[in-house]
Amino acid sequence: MITTKDLTKVYTSRGRQVSALRGVDLHVREGEVYGVVGTSGAGKSTLIRCVNMLERPTSGTVTVAGVELTALRGSEHRAGRELREARRRIGMVFQHFNLLSSRTVQENVELPLEITGLDRAARRRRAAELLELVGLGGKAGAYPGQLSGGQKQRVGIARALAGDPKVLLSDEATSALDPETTRSILGLLRTLNQELGLTVLLITHEMDVVKSVCDSAALMRDGRIVESGTLTDLLSDGTSELARELFPLGDSAGPDGTVLEITFQGDSSGRPFISQLARTYQIDLNILGAAVETIGGRQVGRMRVQLPGFHQDNVVPIGYLREQGLQVDVITETGANAFGSKGVLA
């Protein structure tokens, strides 16, 4: 639904060149919620703004819903007619909402429809529908200045949906909100994704956002995507930095023995495999850390356990765990602490 190929963006300021994007290939499938995470300055904001050409990439292509936007006419600040029409089919929500303070909630939602030239009655009907959809049916006549942050973002979402887009871009939409409001806004995005089949591309610096709504994720650093994939795939990849960040178990390797990291997804999370292991092989297990979370609607758990003895002493129990459909990664052997905390987003 959204594809970027070898996207680069170079800013020139006072003769100095700064690369914000250094060859980004992004592929967002229809109907999924895709999260791009990274620290500030990683280039994620530039990336999402390149998707609807608010920033024109220096090179590379952007294709949204089959239309190659980079091929459409227009400078960075003045879009040609075709690009403007393409933008009407891409909704966007912003971190600071960007609502017009001089218009009521209803008039704010009507704004994109005024631009497309819909008549007054139809605009009114559509705005009322959208406000109902985002749970603000009673606030049509209020001004943005009278609303809370969460309500403002709901207006922002309703406005973004006015043109009935297939794609929604979310630029740190929850970063200015408190945790509880963040949850409700993310819940709304999820609902819209499921009920309207909306494809959502969001950027965020918060892992929790990815954890609670995303189907797929990408990690950005220094203008590049260093890792990407569906959350399910990322979590079953023992070397994934994103997976580690989604599941921070700390840095608690014991002094000796073999430390394993066990990841389980779906139905295997319901089985008591640890006690089965201890009973079957008469091993004294030491649990160093564990977490179970719901990620993208699936139960996923990770546990770090310490077994006595060297790796070769534990081949049989490790084999047993793998047979159970669990994913097992051997982290350390006898004091050799190979795993340090890799702070991806610290």
Q: Does residue 189 contact residue 92 with C-beta atoms inside 8 Å?
A: no
- Establish if 77 lies at the interface with other proteins (CB under 8 A): yes
**DSSP string of 189-209?**
HHHHHHHH--EEEEEES-HHH
- Establish if 148 lies at the interface with other proteins (CB under 8 A): no
Half-sphere exposure of 88 (CA within 13 A, CB side): 14
- Alpha helices (runs of H) in the chain, residue ranges in sequence order: 44-51, 81-87, 105-116, 120-133, 149-161, 179-196, 207-213, 231-235, 241-246, 273-281, 315-323
Q: Does residue 273 contact residue 285 with C-beta atoms inside 8 Å?
A: no
- Closer residue to other proteins (CB): 115 or 315: 115
CB of 92 to other proteins, least distance (A): 4
- Establish if 78 lies at the interface with other proteins (CB under 8 A): yes
Contact pick of 20, 33, 62, 87 for other proteins (by CB under 8 A) = 87
- Establish if 88 lies at the interface with other proteins (CB under 8 A): yes
- Closer residue to other proteins (CB): 94 or 339: 94
Total residues at interface with other proteins (CB under 8 A): 33
Q: Does residue 222 contact residue 46 with C-beta atoms inside 8 Å?
A: no
- Establish if 152 lies at the interface with other proteins (CB under 8 A): no
Two tokens at 82?
Answer: 């075709």
- Closer residue to other proteins (CB): 74 or 238: 74
- Establish if 199 lies at the interface with other proteins (CB under 8 A): no
Contact pick of 3, 8, 98, 299 for other proteins (by CB under 8 A) = 98
Calpha distance 136→269 (Å, rounded): 39
Contact pick of 39, 59, 102, 341 for other proteins (by CB under 8 A) = 102
Contact pick of 15, 66, 145, 179 for other proteins (by CB under 8 A) = 145
- Closer residue to other proteins (CB): 54 or 226: 54
Nearest Cα to 244, choosing from 321, 318, 300? 300
- Closer residue to other proteins (CB): 177 or 277: 177
Contact pick of 3, 31, 54, 181 for other proteins (by CB under 8 A) = 54
Calpha distance 165→176 (Å, rounded): 24
Interface of this chain with other proteins, residues 233 to 262, rule: CB under 8 A? none
Rg (CA), the chain: 24
- Establish if 13 lies at the interface with other proteins (CB under 8 A): no
- Establish if 159 lies at the interface with other proteins (CB under 8 A): yes
172 SS3 class? coil
- Span from 82-90, 229-237, 264-272, 316-324 in contact with other proteins (CB under 8 A): 82-90
Q: Does residue 144 contact residue 117 with C-beta atoms inside 8 Å?
A: no
Binding site for other proteins (CB under 8 A): 52, 54, 77-79, 84-88, 90, 92, 94, 96, 98-103, 111-112, 114-116, 143-146, 159-160, 162-163
